[in-house]
């Protein structure tokens, strides 16, 4: 346990007495803190940007964009309000209706932030696609979302979309951020914006209107589209204030890419709702560059991933040398287990601990956290947010759940009903229903809770893995490999990795007539990378004569994993049997 001594030169934490707050909290009170729309509605973009303009704070810097070639560009709240109005006007001119999906496939460029906010203002649904996805994950998500508009760059369009346009009947408009739109079937994003005015009446959305669509993976089937509504902003704002300790004027850096939920909930919405300046770095991870940004931009609050923390640890003190990080007030991480060594390292090297936080695409916002005012328990994800009831449960065969006592491992569950809870999986009512029992949302994570209410992550009860904080499901990876003529079967596992947490590894059984060889391994890895993109593609591939399967013919990935780790197979198969009721194997 790392006790906290509050530095009296620093502001008092936004959330000081967590227990007292838990006793008195109500979501209705939190709802009442939103500005709201003039007609009684609610809109995420209005809460994030226009509200500040209306309050006379429009000149504050909302977005500080750092380009990969050294560019530095500030956007004030007023400028973001105007540009997102223009984009919303453009969507309206294109005939986009409330509820229609608008996708973006781009890196961390200013247009992404304008698109997100403008889409929300237009009442359409913002759906980000990770720019490091290959053509196949992009196609699957564009098909499933039925996106009518895609914003992207010339290069990404050429590489990942153009050849598949004929398979995307719903996609009417492709808007290029960096071109004149002289490619067939495309238009220029900027030309479109130039033709619009800065003005737009306030949005007309209601709290339960769809706002965000985030794809996430499960063990089986195509990615699930988790739907969030405008009311989610209540939880984004509150967790930004209480967990990340954000306040107006803070310089805040969330290193997550907006292609994933963290990069939207905490890389766009939460900091703007709290009046902070959002630092956005277009470049990829680089320890020296990161320390330089923290120093030069005087970052106060930093939200990142354990993989990045481990990479910084690896680079040692030398990379940090000469940099002044004294502006940092609070540091937190999310997405994968934060190992205690990383917390101890940050205490020694940076003078403060990283605070682990836990949540999911489905929860929309942070649910469990180590707070600025509370002692940090290295190795623990922390305690639930006031307003959130979390428990460790076990599913009963009759479909109900039983709560388990402290210290006993079970499934992490949350009492359903918080504002940023997902409202459905797109076109998959059944899968959504299966996530709930007896009024609890079942997270699919295995965890324990101690007598003091601190939760510890144990693992997942499905075959989904985390690599560098990115969620990867076996279905997409195995399916692509099976498209190759040599592959009969493929099974994906997460192989433990010192830095990435896990890496994607596949076991492949070949069709008759094909022999394992180094050349074939390279070919298959290359094939997977071309189709899936570097974020999802396997890093390792091993040939196997055949893959272990259940009686019903499903690949037993846990057994592959046990073999890989050299765990006793006997024990593992008992475990497999024990968990089979949970996971439906």
* Interface residue list for ligand WT7 (CB under 6 A): 216, 261-262, 334-337, 356-361, 381, 443, 445, 457, 460, 466, 471
Burial of 379 (0-12, 13-18, 19+ CB in 10 A): middle
Q: Which is nearer to ligand WT7, 278 or 442 (CB)?
A: 442
Token digits of residue 408? 């006993």
Least spacing, CB of residue 373 vs ligand WT7, in Å: 19
Q: Which is nearer to ligand WT7, 130 or 291 (CB)?
A: 130
Contact 518, 501 (CB under 8 A): no
Q: Which is nearer to ligand WT7, 207 or 223 (CB)?
A: 223
Concatenate the DSSP letters of all residues of 307-331 into one string. HHHHHHHHHHHHHHTT---TT--EE
Question: What is the separation of C-alpha 201 from the centre of its chain, rounded to a whole number of angstroms?
Answer: 31
Q: Which is nearer to ligand WT7, 161 or 492 (CB)?
A: 492
CA angle 168, 171, 177 (to 5 degrees): 120
Least spacing, CB of residue 443 vs ligand WT7, in Å: 6
Q: Which is nearer to ligand WT7, 229 or 412 (CB)?
A: 412
CA distance 428 to 216: 13
The bridge status of strand 470-472 relative to strand 465-467 is antiparallel
CA distance 246 to 260: 21
Q: Which is nearer to ligand WT7, 118 or 263 (CB)?
A: 263
Q: Which is nearer to ligand WT7, 176 or 233 (CB)?
A: 233
Least spacing, CB of residue 391 vs ligand WT7, in Å: 16
Mapping DSSP onto H, E and C, the string for 118-166 reads: HHHHCCCEEEEECCCCCHHHHHHHHHHHCCCEEEECHHHHHHHCHHHHH
Interior/surface letters 68-80, b for 16+ CB within 10 angstroms, e for the rest:
eeeeeeebbbbbb
Least spacing, CB of residue 363 vs ligand WT7, in Å: 8
Contact 347, 380 (CB under 8 A): no
Concatenate the DSSP letters of all residues of 36-92 into one string. --TTS---HHIIIIIHHHHTT-TTSEEEEEE-TTS-EEEEEHHHHHHHHHHHHHHHH
Q: Which is nearer to ligand WT7, 186 or 262 (CB)?
A: 262
Least spacing, CB of residue 216 vs ligand WT7, in Å: 5
Mapping DSSP onto H, E and C, the string for 409-456 reads: CEEEEEECCCCCCCCEECCCHHHHHCCEECCEEEEEEEEEECCCCCEE
Least spacing, CB of residue 460 vs ligand WT7, in Å: 5
Least spacing, CB of residue 262 vs ligand WT7, in Å: 4
Dihedral angle, C-alpha 564, 568, 569, 575, nearest 10 °: -110
Least spacing, CB of residue 400 vs ligand WT7, in Å: 22
Q: Which is nearer to ligand WT7, 100 or 411 (CB)?
A: 411
Least spacing, CB of residue 425 vs ligand WT7, in Å: 12
Q: Which residue is nearest to ligand WT7 (CB)?
A: 361
């Amino acid at each position: 346990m790392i006790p906290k001594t509050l530095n009296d030169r620093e502001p008092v934490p936004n959330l000081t007495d967590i227990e007292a707050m838990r006793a008195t909290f109500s979501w209705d009170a939190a709802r009442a803190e939103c500005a709201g729309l003039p007609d009684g509605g609610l809109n995420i973009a209005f809460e994030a940007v226009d509200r500040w303009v209306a309050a006379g704070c429009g000149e504050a810097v909302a977005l500080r964009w750092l380009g990969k070639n050294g560019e530095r560009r500030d956007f004030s709240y007023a400028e973001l309000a105007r540009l997102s109005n223009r984009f919303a006007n453009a969507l309206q001119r294109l005939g986009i209706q409330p509820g229609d999906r608008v996708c973006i496939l781009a890196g961390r460029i200013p247009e992404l932030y304008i698109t997100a906010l403008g889409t929300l203002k237009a009442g359409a649904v913002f759906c980000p696609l990770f720019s490091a996805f290959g053509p196949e994950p992009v196609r699957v998500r564009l098909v499933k979302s039925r996106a009518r508009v895609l914003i992207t760059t010339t290069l990404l369009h050429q590489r990942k979309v153009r050849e598949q346009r004929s398979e995307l009947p719903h996609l009417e408009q492709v808007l290029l951020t960096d071109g004149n739109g002289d490619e067939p079937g495309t238009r220029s994003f900027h030309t479109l914006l130039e033709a619009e005015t800065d003005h737009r009446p306030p949005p007309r959305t209601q709290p339960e209107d769809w706002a965000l669509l985030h794809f996430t993976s499960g063990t089986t089937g195509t990615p699930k589209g988790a739907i969030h509504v405008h009311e989610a902003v209540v939880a984004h704002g509150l967790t930004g204030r209480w967990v990340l300790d954000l306040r107006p004027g803070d310089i805040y850096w969330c290193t997550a890419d907006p292609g994933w939920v963290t990069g939207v909930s905490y890389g766009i919405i939460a900091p703007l709702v709290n009046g902070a300046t959002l630092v956005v770095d277009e470049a990829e991870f680089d320890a020296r560059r990161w320390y330089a940004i923290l120093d030069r931009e005087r970052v106060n609050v930093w939200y990142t991933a354990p993989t990045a923390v481990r990479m910084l640890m690896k680079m040692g003190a030398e990379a940090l040398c000469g940099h002044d990080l004294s502006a940092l007030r609070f540091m937190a991480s999310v997405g994968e287990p934060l190992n205690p060594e990383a917390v101890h390292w940050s205490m020694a090297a940076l003078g403060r601990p990283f605070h682990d936080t836990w949540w999911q695409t489905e929860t929309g916002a942070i649910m469990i956290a180590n707070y600025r005012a509370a002692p940090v328990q290295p190795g623990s994800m922390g305690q639930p947010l006031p307003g959130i009831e979390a428990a460790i449960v076990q599913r009963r065969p009759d479909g109900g759940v039983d709560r388990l006592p402290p210290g006993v491992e079970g499934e992490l569950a949350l009492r359903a009903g918080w504002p940023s809870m997902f409202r459905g999986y797109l076109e998959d009512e059944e899968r959504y229903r299966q996530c709930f029992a007896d009024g609890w949302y079942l997270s699919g994570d295995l965890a324990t809770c101690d007598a003091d209410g601190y939760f510890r992550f144990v693992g997942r009860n499905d075959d989904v893995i985390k690599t560098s904080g990115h969620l990867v499901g076996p279905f997409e990876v195995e399916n692509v490999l099976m498209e190759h003529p040599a592959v009969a079967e493929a099974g994906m596992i997460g192989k433990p990795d010192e830095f990435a947490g896990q890496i994607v590894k596949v076991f492949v059984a070949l069709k008759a007539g094909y022999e394992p060889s180094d050349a074939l391994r390279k070919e298959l890895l290359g094939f997977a990378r071309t189709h899936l993109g570097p974020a999802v593609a396997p890093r390792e591939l091993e040939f196997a004569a055949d893959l272990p399967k259940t009686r019903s013919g499903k690949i037993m990935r846990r057994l592959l994993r046990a073999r890989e780790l050299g765990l006793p197979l006997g024990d593992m198969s008992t475990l497999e049997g024990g968990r089979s009721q949970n996971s439906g194997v």
